[in-house]
């Protein structure tokens, strides 16, 4: 017998009619979010040019992968599966309910044949079971939460919502069971049929009627309630993910200071100090954040006892936003200067975030305000900053001049029109004795391979540390000088040894007018090996590779260094590697910080040591210095080497 919709129900169409005000409340709730979010102003930033498929402002790939499929959710397997079961189960159930409406309103033949058996019966029941299992798992996670869910704020509204969803699903099954007990089995409805057997003696039409209305009214109410609850992430998360450019990392852009030099132009408040200064994407991030704490769990600062928690930052922003405190500049104090400067800009929080929140962008924006408007910076970082400002390098108290690294070494100077590659030295591989060996190894490799390369006569920094410390103005000045010199010299291809230089050259310099190609030394050396320009003797030593955040997570150069390590020895992976790598602690200017509590570099060095590899390799001079220092706590062995050093020592002449 064909199923009769609204069986045993009088005026069932009232549910359809009630869905209209429910949807109106739903839309109004979303409008309130939009009104809050659009208050963010973005006046002075330039965007990063991205070539990716877009529909309007939405990046299709980000929208589908991170917004719809929600790939990052599944990084926590059980939670991911539970979330997937609940989300997709509820979506399928909603489709089923919509089909019932369409059947009632337009006679759509959904209760006939195989479609009825396999979709309206079996699939919907399976979806209900999946959603119920999912929601019960998530409810248990809220009742017995891990630390990440409770730190800073426990979003208890989820418990209510999860109970409500569970009630909707259970009442749905009961309605089905009681109906089947009264009208006979439904093809494919395995849960309904089973329940009907259990309910056969209590399946009164009155019970069915009450349950039907309870089920329908709660479901309609939940829809209306979505925008006023954490469930709003159902709408905001896909949008937030779609608006996130596919370029990894914080995406700080640059500030156009020249605009302020125009006639009568007033310098606006720099950086972020009140919600009104934030970009609307920052406010969307704060609204979308689920406070799940995944970012807290991977944050090197948070995990080593610093005052920073990316979740804490988002919680604070979200509370200020909810309370409409757009002009309240106490938000920085609420987050704290210590916390803002503790960020190593490693972007692990972004990588972990299931809803594509860009925590570092907000944190660095606030850091920009502290430095450029209030001149607030931790002491040692301040000294490095002053050195950078006066000497164009931040290595305070160095015992080396800019050319000491090449004493006794013939290094060609870049010649306009003659030299192909500029070997960019920068600061980190010039002013520290240990890292000078990286530069010398790189010169050895390039010479052996017969590469046409040269260095600048006057060595200086890219300005990246200034940018990371929050001084966009100083960065722009240094970058401007570098770009001018590159243009005069006709530099078209640059090789970098520091991922921070690489990141700055590729992310920020083009926005200031630079037009040159940049190759990180890991990629260049790998290419030399592939082309046979250098030949290596593979050894038996085991080598674990530490991914520098600015090379790996920020720029996705993950396989090339590993190929190099594999060419000289036996690659060993640390538990946290690749995109999930743990920071060395030196990023964001924190190389010049006296850390309190557990030191990040010691934590990471121990992880590397625990692999029992003979050598610890990396591809960033800052990582090299931090890990070398961190290792001293655990061993006296000098185990850290740059990939250039490994290659240089293994080259067959």
Partner 1 sequence: MHIVVLAKVVPDYEVPSADFELVGNRAHPRYARMIGLYDENAVELGVQLKEKHAAGLTIVSYGLHEDVQFLRKAIAMGADKIVLVEGTSDDPYVIAANLKEAIDKQGEVDLVLAGRQSSDMDRGVVPGLLAGMLDYPFVPQACSVESVADGWKVAQITETGKRLMKLSGKGVLSITSVPENVPRIPAVKAIFAAKKKPVEKLPEIGARPMGVSEISVSIPKIESVCELIPAEDMDEAARTLFRRLKEERYL
* CB of residue 387 to partner 1, shortest distance in Å: 7
Backbone phi, then psi, for 544, in 5-degree steps? -100, 140
Token couple for 577: 């590697």
* CB of residue 425 to partner 1, shortest distance in Å: 15
Please say whether the beta carbons of 352 and 579 come within 8 A: no
* CB of residue 480 to partner 1, shortest distance in Å: 14
Strands 570-572 and 615-618: unpaired
Please say whether the beta carbons of 86 and 135 come within 8 A: yes
* CB of residue 555 to partner 1, shortest distance in Å: 29
Q: How far apart are CA 503 and CA 554, in angstroms?
A: 8
Task: Tell me whether residue 368 or residue 504 sits nearer to partner 1 (CB atom).
Answer: 368
Q: How far apart are CA 432 and CA 454, in angstroms?
A: 21
* CB of residue 373 to partner 1, shortest distance in Å: 5
Task: Tell me whether residue 40 or residue 378 sits nearer to partner 1 (CB atom).
Answer: 378
Q: How far apart are CA 448 and CA 651, in angstroms?
A: 9
* CB of residue 637 to partner 1, shortest distance in Å: 14
Token couple for 648: 């240089």
* CB of residue 562 to partner 1, shortest distance in Å: 36
Task: Tell me whether residue 178 or residue 255 sits nearer to partner 1 (CB atom).
Answer: 255
Please say whether the beta carbons of 232 and 291 come within 8 A: no
Q: Outline where 457-596 has alpha helix (H).
A: 464-469, 472-489, 499-503, 521-531, 559-568
What is the sign, positive or negative, of the torsion defined by CA atoms of 266, 271, 272, 277? Answer: positive
* CB of residue 398 to partner 1, shortest distance in Å: 6
Task: Tell me whether residue 347 or residue 377 sits nearer to partner 1 (CB atom).
Answer: 377
Rg (CA), the chain: 29
Q: Shortest CA distance to 52 belongs to which of 243, 336, 184, 283?
A: 243
Task: Tell me whether residue 179 or residue 367 sits nearer to partner 1 (CB atom).
Answer: 367
Cross-sheet strand order for the sheet of 640-642? 570-572, 542-545, 615-618, 640-642
Please say whether the beta carbons of 46 and 256 come within 8 A: yes
What is the CB-side half-sphere exposure of residue 220 using CA atoms within 13 A? 18
**DSSP letter string, 503-532:** HIIIIIGGGGT---EEEEHHHHHHHHHHHT
Task: Tell me whether residue 398 or residue 448 sits nearer to partner 1 (CB atom).
Answer: 398
Number of H helices, E strands in the chain: 28, 12
Please say whether the beta carbons of 591 and 626 come within 8 A: yes
* CB of residue 390 to partner 1, shortest distance in Å: 4
Task: Tell me whether residue 381 or residue 536 sits nearer to partner 1 (CB atom).
Answer: 381
The residues near 600 (Cβ < 8 Å, ≥ 6 apart) are: 300, 301, 304, 344, 582, 583, 584, 585, 590, 626, 630
Task: Tell me whether residue 484 or residue 530 sits nearer to partner 1 (CB atom).
Answer: 484
* CB of residue 375 to partner 1, shortest distance in Å: 5
* CB of residue 460 to partner 1, shortest distance in Å: 10
* CB of residue 427 to partner 1, shortest distance in Å: 13
Task: Tell me whether residue 397 or residue 417 sits nearer to partner 1 (CB atom).
Answer: 397
Q: Which residues bind partner 1 (CB under 8 A)?
A: 257, 260-261, 267, 270, 371-375, 377, 379, 382, 385-387, 389-392, 396-404, 458, 471, 473
* CB of residue 389 to partner 1, shortest distance in Å: 8
The residues near 315 (Cβ < 8 Å, ≥ 6 apart) are: 152, 153, 289, 291
Token couple for 241: 């993910």
Cα angle 339, 344, 348; round to 5:
105
Task: Tell me whether residue 397 or residue 532 sits nearer to partner 1 (CB atom).
Answer: 397
Task: Tell me whether residue 41 or residue 576 sits nearer to partner 1 (CB atom).
Answer: 41
Burial level of 546, CB count in 10 A (0-12/13-18/19+)? buried
Task: Tell me whether residue 114 or residue 265 sits nearer to partner 1 (CB atom).
Answer: 265
Task: Tell me whether residue 111 or residue 473 sits nearer to partner 1 (CB atom).
Answer: 473
Task: Tell me whether residue 206 or residue 458 sits nearer to partner 1 (CB atom).
Answer: 458
- E-strand spans in 52-120? 54-55, 58-59
* CB of residue 140 to partner 1, shortest distance in Å: 51
């Amino acid at each position: 017998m064909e199923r009769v919709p609204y069986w045993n129900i009088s005026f069932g169409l009232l549910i359809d009619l009630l869905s209209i005000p429910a949807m109106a409340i739903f839309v109004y709730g979303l409008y309130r979010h939009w009104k809050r979010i659009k208050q963010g102003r973005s006046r002075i930033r330039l965007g990063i040019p991205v070539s990716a498929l877009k529909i309007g402002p939405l990046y299709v790939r980000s929208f589908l992968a991170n917004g719809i499929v929600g790939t990052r959710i599944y990084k926590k397997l059980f939670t991911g599966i539970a979330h997937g079961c609940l989300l997709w189960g509820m979506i399928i159930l909603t489709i089923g309910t919509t089909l019932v409406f369409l059947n009632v309103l337009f006679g759509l033949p959904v209760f006939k044949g195989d479609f009825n058996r396999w979709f309206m019966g079996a699939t919907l029941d399976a979806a209900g079971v999946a959603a119920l299992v999912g929601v019960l798992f998530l409810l248990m996670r809220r009742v017995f939460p891990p630390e990440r869910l409770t730190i800073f704020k426990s979003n208890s509204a989820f418990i209510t919502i999860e109970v409500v969803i569970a009630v909707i699903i259970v009442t749905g099954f009961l309605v089905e069971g009681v109906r089947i007990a009264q009208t006979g089995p439904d093809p494919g409805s395995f849960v309904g049929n089973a329940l009907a057997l259990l309910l056969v003696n209590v399946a009164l039409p009155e019970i069915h009627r009450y349950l039907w209305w309870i089920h329908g009214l709660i479901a309609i109410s939940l829809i209306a309630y979505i925008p006023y609850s954490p469930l709003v992430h159902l709408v905001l998360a896909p949008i937030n993910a779609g608006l996130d450019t596919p370029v990894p990392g914080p995406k700080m852009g640059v500030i156009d200071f020249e605009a302020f030099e125009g006639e009568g132009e007033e310098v606006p408040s720099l950086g972020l100090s009140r919600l009104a200064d934030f970009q609307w994407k920052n406010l969307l991030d704060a609204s979308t954040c689920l406070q799940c704490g995944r970012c807290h769990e991977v944050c090197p600062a948070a995990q080593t006892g610093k005052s920073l928690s990316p979740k804490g930052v988002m919680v604070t922003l979200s509370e200020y936003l909810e309370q409409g405190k757009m002009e309240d500049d106490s938000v920085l104090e609420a987050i704290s200067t210590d916390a803002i400067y503790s960020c190593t800009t490693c972007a692990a929080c972004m990588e972990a975030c299931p809803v594509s929140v860009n925590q570092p962008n907000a944190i660095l924006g606030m850091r920009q305000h502290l430095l450029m408007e209030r001149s607030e910076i931790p002491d040692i970082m301040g000294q490095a900053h002053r050195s950078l400002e006066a000497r164009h390098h931040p290595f305070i108290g160095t015992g080396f001049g800019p050319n000491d690294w090449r004493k006794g070494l013939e290094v060609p100077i870049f010649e306009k029109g003659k030299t192909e590659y500029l070997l960019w030295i920068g600061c980190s591989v010039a002013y520290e004795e240990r890292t000078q060996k990286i530069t010398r190894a790189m010169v050895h490799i390039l010479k052996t391979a017969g590469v046409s390369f040269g260095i600048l006569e006057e060595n200086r920094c890219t300005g990246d540390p200034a940018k990371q410390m929050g001084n966009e103005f100083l960065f722009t000045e240094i970058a401007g000088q570098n770009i001018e010199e590159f243009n005069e010299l006709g530099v078209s291809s640059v090789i970098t040894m520091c991922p921070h230089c690489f990141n700055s050259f590729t992310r920020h310099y083009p926005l200031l007018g630079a037009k040159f190609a940049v190759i990180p030394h890991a990629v260049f050396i790998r290419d030399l090996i592939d082309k046979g320009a250098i030949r290596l003797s593979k050894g038996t030593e085991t080598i674990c590779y530490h991914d520098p955040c600015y090379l790996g997570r920020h720029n996705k150069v993950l396989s090339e260094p590993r190929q190099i390590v594999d060419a000289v020895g036996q690659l060993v992976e640390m538990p946290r590697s690749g995109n999930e790598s743990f920071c060395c602690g030196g990023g964001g200017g924190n190389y010049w910080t006296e850390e309190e509590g557990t030191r990040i570099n010691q934590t990471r060095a121990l992880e590397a040591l625990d692999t029992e590899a003979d050598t610890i390799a990396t591809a960033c001079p800052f990582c090299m210095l931090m890990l070398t220092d961190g290792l001293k706590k655990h061993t006296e062995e000098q185990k850290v080497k740059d990939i250039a050093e490994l290659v240089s020592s293994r080259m067959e002449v």
